[in-house]
Each structure stands twice: as structure tokens, then as C-alpha cells.
Amino acid sequence: MLNEVPIIKGLIAGVDEAGRGPLVGNVVAAAVILNSADPIEGLADSKKLSAERRESLAIEIRQRALAWAVVSVSAEEIDQINILQATMLAMKQAVEQLAVTPDHVFVDGNRCPDLGCPATAIIKGDDRVAEIGAASIIAKVERDQQMRQLHDEFPHYGFDRHKGYPTKAHVAALAEHGPCPQHRRSYAPVKLHLRRNLEK
């Protein structure tokens, strides 16, 4: 059941992440404070937008928001502290890096990182709160760019197509080539491949 979005006076930051599910690369979080005097049309859950529309909106958000920040936490750190803690860390750091201090933070999902200001978790917030939708777009565009760069380095995995998610093509490439340095060793398909190699 969806929770209520409280009515808050003052500056609101929205926070969202991209990259919890993939087997490879960083988890990326963004925080955005929009300018209520300069609204941006079309903000929504980044997954429901085309790549072209996301990139166009990301440029608008960076130009017109009062403040925005984006933070990446590496695959190595994800393996050390787990994906939930890595996501919370990225979100916390994104809020801390905002050039303007928010009065309240809306976080996509059902839990909030430990922030130094009031915060509310909003389920499906990227569709319900403009600030979270904006953060969703910034995080997704940044992570997709990272995956294109990783594809240039390791083209045989097809990161430009599946963005690191565990598709059949990705799992097959993992079986054929083994993991690259940015694969998350704590994730089951990667762990399984490493175990099989040890048993050979």
C-alpha cells in the first residue's frame, strides 16, 4: 500500500538510486532540489522514459534545479558492505554534497539513510514526487554512461545493451569470459562462476 506524501514547507530534496540489481559496476544515487519557480515538465520514474528523453531531462535538471549531486559507490565496496548499505551510503553522501541544505528529504523506497535532516521514505516516489523523479533520472543517466564506458573497456559482455543486469546474454558472457574487475563478487551468478572455477 502506498504511503501518503506529506505536505512540507521549505526546500525539498528528492533522492533515488540506480543500479541495485545489476551484477556489475557502481550503485549510483542522486539528490535534487528543484526550483518551484521554474518547474520542469515530464519528470517521472526514469525506467518509464526513453533513453533519449531521460538524457534530455537530465540536462534540464542540471541547468534548472537549485541544487543536484550524484554519488557512486563501487562494486568493491558493495561486496564489502552489501548492496543495501552501499545504496544508503550513496544516498547519504549525495544529500551531503548538495550545494543547498534541504529542509526535508524525500527518499524513494521504504527506508531512509541516516541523514542530518528530516526525511520521509516514499514508496514508488519516483512517480509521485517530482524531486524524486528528477533524482531518478540523474542517477539512471549517470549509471548508463558509466556502463557505456565499461562496455568500451570490455565489449564482449554487452554492457551497452543490458547495462549489467543479469540477462541471459550477460550470464552467458560471464560463463564464457569470467568476471571483469567491476563484477560484484558477492552477487550469486558471479559467486557461482567463481566457485565453479575454483572447483576445476
Tens-digit pLDDT profile for residues 49-107: 898 999 999 999 999 999 999 999 999 999 999 999 999 999 999 999 999 999 999 99
3-class DSSP state for residue 3? coil
DSSP letter, residue 183: B
- The answer to whether 16 and 127 have CB atoms below 8 angstroms apart is no
- pLDDT value at 200 more than 70: no
Give yes or no for a contact between 101 and 13, defined as CB atoms under 8 angstroms apart: no
**Helix (H) / strand (E) containing 33:** strand 27-33
**pLDDT score of 128 more than 80:** yes
Q: 165 and 157 in contact (C-beta within 8 Å)?
A: no
Q: Are 33 and 13 spatial neighbours (Cβ–Cβ below 8 Å)? A: yes
Q: 2-42, pLDDT tens digit by residue?
A: 778 778 789 999 999 999 999 999 999 999 999 999 989 88
Residue with cell 534540464: 60
Using CA atoms, how far apart are residues 73 and 91, in angstroms rounded to an integer? 10
Please tell me the CATH code under which domain 12-145 is placed.
3.30.420.10
Give the pLDDT score at 197. 61
For residues 28 and 15, give the distance between their C-alpha atoms in angstroms, rounded to a whole number: 11
What pLDDT was estimated at residue 135?
97
* Percentage, residues of the chain above pLDDT 90: 78
Q: What is the pTM of this model?
A: 0.93
Domain ranges for the chain? 12-145
Query: How many Cβ atoms sit within 10 Å of the Cβ of residue 111?
Result: 11
